[in-house]
Amino acid sequence: MAKEGADMTEETEYMIDKNVKKEIDNVETSGNAKEMRAVILSGFGGLNKLRVTKKAMPEPQDGEVKIRVKTCGLNFLDLMVRQGTIDNPPKPPLVPGFECSGIVESVGENTKGFEIGDRVMAFVNYNAWAEVVCAPVDFVYKMPDEMTFAEAAAFSLNFVAAYMMLFEVANLREGMSVLVHSVGGGVGQAVAQLCSTVPNVTVFGIASCFKHAAIRDSVAHLFDRNVDYIQEVKKISPEGVDIVLDCLCGENTGKGLSLLKPLGTYILYGASNMVTGETKSFFSFAKSWWQVEKVNPIKLYEENKVIAGFSLLNLLFKQGRCGLVKSVMDKLLCLYEEKKIKPVVDSLWALEEVKEAMQRIHDRGNIGKLILDVEKSPTPLDCESWISCCPLHFHCHVSPSSAH
């Protein structure tokens, strides 16, 4: 009986893959249509659902710019998209990715503010991992002259999210304290840098111990993610902290709330604890949900605590707050030009190496941002094998300075 069930499962998977391949073939073009390379997610699941293929090149509509992409950002959210663990994902096949940088190749009608040849970075609602992207002008920003394309792809989502959580939601001020999970990641490093722009802000960072040597100077206090950080924080600050930034969820929600001072703010901006294996796990999802402490509004009232959530992509694409995001981006670009902040790039990967890059972010091996470099050739196998042996190879894969 079990064998029959397994045979039926294999047959079903074969039929699904066969139908998805037909849909991908429909997405890919033939004849005289202009084509481009893109990463295609054929269905939700493991790394085998990703591949680079040719598809029709988009053309700009009214109010859009066409961007010849140089680099794309890779985020933990992209991994959750691949697994199908986010709410209401678009039906595959689809091109993943939410941010990119490149050069304006053409503009649509009634498009103002951009010219052919402008160096830009952009938010996109999927479709970023391709050679060409079309985006509405409201989501496109000119890059500073000294900013590299790799830095630009590491800048948009991470720094805007970090800034808005700290200053728009939590109202960070002089003398406050901040605890941030995954401080070695792209958002975590952005948070640490932005906190340094405010006098006397104390940052408590949590990260895997093998990252500590590389990021120790970015925070005041650094703890291993596997230790009881509540007790460690309270040894230093018995009252707790003013702000907790949590991208993990699960049991960390209750821990974060318990660490808040009166009038403190806990912000949830991710749920990476739901991701354990290569594919979606109902057990991990249920465990993460079950471990979330049920929030009692009366208790929040009595303890003078604030709990909030933040999703930059929903703010942009579902709630229409692109004007607010643009004002934040203007402030951030000023800070960049004043050399007060600078994106941390972990490594550059070719489009064809997207599976390896995604595995690295799944293993929490990155320090800073992983970047897909559209013009980069895949690393030869013998070099790649050597790189995989290096526990901190974020500077070994390729130098970020090569992506200008």
C-beta atoms surrounding 93 within 10 Å? 22
Does residue 299 or residue 244 have the better pLDDT? 244
pLDDT digits (tens, 9 = 90+) for 316-355: 999 999 999 999 999 999 999 999 999 999 999 999 999 9
Contacts of 106 (CB under 8 A, 6+ apart): 59, 60, 65, 66, 116
360-384 per-residue burial string, b: 16 or more CB within 10 A, e: under 16: bbbebbbbbbbbbbbebeebeeeee
Residue 321 φ/ψ, nearest 5 degrees: -100, 40
Token code pair at residue 291: 């471990």
Alpha-carbon gap, residue 296 to 166, rounded angstroms: 24
pLDDT digits (tens, 9 = 90+) for 287-298: 444 445 677 888
Banded pLDDT at 32 (limits 50, 70, 90): low
Mean pLDDT of 273-290: 49
Cα 144 to Cα 58, 127, 336, 338: the distances in Å are 26, 24, 8, 11
Task: Return left, alpha or beta for 304; rule: phi > 0 is left, psi -120 to 50 is alpha, else beta.
Answer: left
Cα 287 to Cα 145, 274, 282, 292: the distances in Å are 47, 8, 8, 9
Banded pLDDT at 1 (limits 50, 70, 90): very low
Contact between 270 and 249 under an 8 Å Cβ cutoff? The reply is yes
Contacts of 87 (CB under 8 A, 6+ apart): none
Does residue 31 or residue 250 have the better pLDDT? 250
Alpha-carbon gap, residue 173 to 139, rounded angstroms: 29
Contacts of 28 (CB under 8 A, 6+ apart): 35, 53, 54, 55, 56
- Which domains, and CATH codes, for the chain? 33-148 (3.90.180.10), 155-342 (3.40.50.720)
pLDDT digits (tens, 9 = 90+) for 128-144: 999 999 999 999 999 99
Which residues are paired to 370 by β-bridges?
A: 74, 347
* pLDDT score of 392 more than 70: no
Kindly report the pTM of this predicted structure. Answer: 0.84
| pLDDT of the residue at 248 | 85
* pLDDT score of 26 more than 70: no
* pLDDT score of 256 more than 60: yes
Banded pLDDT at 8 (limits 50, 70, 90): very low
| pLDDT of the residue at 85 | 83
* pLDDT score of 10 more than 80: no
Lowest mean pLDDT among 97-101, 178-182, 372-376, 378-382: 378-382
Mean pLDDT of 361-367: 88
Alpha-carbon gap, residue 293 to 254, rounded angstroms: 5
3-state SS of 321-332? Answer: CHHHHHHHHHHH
* Mean pLDDT comparison of 83-92, 167-176, 392-401, highest-scoring range: 167-176
Cα 133 to Cα 34, 97, 160, 306: the distances in Å are 13, 11, 21, 39
